[in-house]
Amino acid sequence: MDYLIVGAGPAGLSAALESVQRGFRPVVIDNRPEPGGNIYAWLGSTCRNRRRHLGIFGPDYAKGTALLEAFDKAVSKGAITYHPLTRLWQLDRSGQFAFTGPQGTRTGQATRVLLATGAQERPMPVPGWTLPGVMGVGAAQILLKSGGALPDGPVVIVGAGPLPLLLAEQLRRLGRPVAGFIEPRGASNLLGSGSALLGAAKAPATALKGMMLLARRSAGKSRIWRRATEIRIYGDGRVQGLRFATGNGQQDIQATCVLLHDGIIPNLNPMRAASLPMSYVAEQATWHCRPQRAIQIAGDASGILGADAAIITGRMAAAEAAGAAADSADLRKLKRLRSFRRFLDAAYPPVRTARGTAADTVICRCEMIRAETLRTAARSAGTDPNALKRALRVGMGPCQGRLCAHSIADLIAADSGSAPGEIGIQSIRPPILPVSFATLAEIELRRNL
């Protein structure tokens, strides 16, 4: 295999198309049923079966149609091999891979692997966040794009930033306006973002869209509580409401659906599987990985810059694989998008709710390990995340740390007075996504034939 592309979001799709122009026969895998990644999720089905929703999700969503059509065309001509519902679960730096999907399991060696595996929402642990009816803002948006529905009753968003504003507008168009916004203390610093504000001027159209979304929210009927602390979600068997404190005292509001958001971060696990070098980026409170040997990275996996940048970096990765230089217009656009990102980082700093969280907050959802248990273990086993993993099994469940690794680093760093970058995150072992014993046995049987 000369080029394995993991992820069929904007970065993976544009890399695949560009690589065909440069003489490759790429294989694209993605664990979702349709190409499009997060921003263009289920766009193909929406165009075919729910065209009304194109208007609801807005022009940035519909814009992906041309990319998807070009990709579909290249797949039907046989220029690109595409495996949907197929998950990469092992990778090393030399390009040795293992993936499993409806076509079975394939292991082997790729000359080059592009990780275009995108982003995920930063987990936002608060007491009660494991109750049914609580999910991420992005998860709710993916549910809507896939044709699903949110539970009936009041929807409350906890968090700040572009994605909550966008979803609130999409819900308004769907006739389900958000009942309330709770912005945790420190989640929004639009006017105090100082020199980073200049970055907003580098992408005026995007900045204008953001201002319009903010204006729509202010003009709407949603209540907004700012600088909220001690947020606690409650309910008997499923979410019924939230309690929190503001400058005006204790609040108690009802909700049947609570959507959490503390920004988005690169989906680190595929890159950590390949042992790529990582460094902590304090302003985004996450790690960025660097490409090495056979492995390339493009799109949000290499740092959150949005869909336009993902398309550019995907194209650049394919050019680099062919030994060609990047287009200078692409490089200039990327520079402007990076300036805009600096503005967003300053305007919506990560809240990192795991810091100093209540003792009963679940941190590791797979193993149901609470903050108190982690703090006790850190006192005896030390602050090394791998020691905590051995002591408590945190990060060993089906999510392999996706939903707890950042929170553990934040919690332990806050308690021990160090920086999360010094604490680090647990090492990762294959399989990075769940695979059945039958899959592993099948590989072993093939090897022994």
Ligand X SMILES: Cc1cc2nc3c(=O)[nH]c(=O)nc-3n(C[C@H](O)[C@H](O)[C@H](O)COP(=O)(O)OP(=O)(O)OC[C@H]3O[C@@H](n4cnc5c(N)ncnc54)[C@H](O)[C@@H]3O)c2cc1C
Which residues contribute to the site for ligand X (CB under 6 A)?
Answer: 6-12, 29-32, 37-39, 60, 87-88, 116-121, 138, 141-142, 163, 166, 264, 267, 270, 299-301, 306-307, 310, 433
Tokens (6 digits) for 409: 């680093």
**CB of 414 vs ligand X, minimal distance in Å:** 25
**CB of 97 vs ligand X, minimal distance in Å:** 10
C-alpha span between 205 and 207 (Å, rounded) = 5
Q: Which is nearer to ligand X, 127 or 306 (CB)?
A: 306
Q: Which is nearer to ligand X, 40 or 225 (CB)?
A: 40
Biggest CA pair distance of the chain: 71
**CB of 418 vs ligand X, minimal distance in Å:** 28
| Angle subtended at Cα 443 by Cα 438 and Cα 449, rounded to the nearest 5 degrees | 120
Query: Measuring CA to CA, which residue among 155, 129, 127 is closest to residue 140?
Result: 155
Beta strands in 116-263 (DSSP E): 119-121, 134-136, 155-159, 180-184, 223-234, 241-246, 249-254, 257-261
Q: Which is nearer to ligand X, 342 or 370 (CB)?
A: 342
Alpha-carbon dihedral of residues 116, 117, 119, 122, nearest 10 degrees?
-150
C-alpha span between 332 and 250 (Å, rounded) = 49
C-alpha span between 43 and 142 (Å, rounded) = 11
**CB of 130 vs ligand X, minimal distance in Å:** 19
Chain-centre distance for alpha carbon 112: 24
Q: Which is nearer to ligand X, 61 or 225 (CB)?
A: 61
Q: Which is nearer to ligand X, 257 or 412 (CB)?
A: 257
Using alpha carbons, list the distances in angstroms from residue 413 to 278, 372, 410. 18, 15, 5
**CB of 375 vs ligand X, minimal distance in Å:** 29
C-alpha span between 408 and 392 (Å, rounded) = 12
**CB of 251 vs ligand X, minimal distance in Å:** 28
In the 8-state DSSP scheme, what is residue 254?
E
**CB of 300 vs ligand X, minimal distance in Å:** 4
Q: Which is nearer to ligand X, 96 or 254 (CB)?
A: 96
Q: Which is nearer to ligand X, 47 or 381 (CB)?
A: 47
